[in-house]
Amino acid sequence: MRRVITYGTFDLLHYGHINLLRRAKEYGDYLIVALSTDEFNLSKNKKCYFSYEKRKQLLEAIRYVDLVISEETWEQKISDIKEFRVDTFVMGNDWEGKFDFLKDYCEVVYLPRTPEISTSQIKKDLFGDNK
């Protein structure tokens, strides 16, 4: 079984997120989503509209997602990859190159973003907030 992992906040879930999850799942049989906790987001000065528990419920309802775990620190990626025996790490290409150090542990893939949609833009349009 090929295992894939991706990380994110997934606030204000939209079709760009669904596209990423669908394409990530194409790299394996089992997709793990590491979801940023509310506390971790606050440490990044990032405020979420939905709580961690609500965002987790939404992700668990998506057919491409097999498991949702919590992301509590930047540094946990290597231990997650080892613990869950991950074959492929997937992120949007806005993170291109930033996780290349994980290539010692698994395949690293950067997928193109859905260009016309982003949570930051939705928040800016709705709330005048770019966080």
Q: Which residues are catalytic?
A: 44, 46
CB 21 within 8 A of CB 113: no
The amino acid sitting at 112 is P
Which of the 8 DSSP states describes residue 106? Answer: S
The three-class DSSP label of residue 7 is strand
- Among 14, 11, 13, 74, which Cα is nearest to 48's? 11
Q: Tokens 């193109």 map to which residue?
A: 112
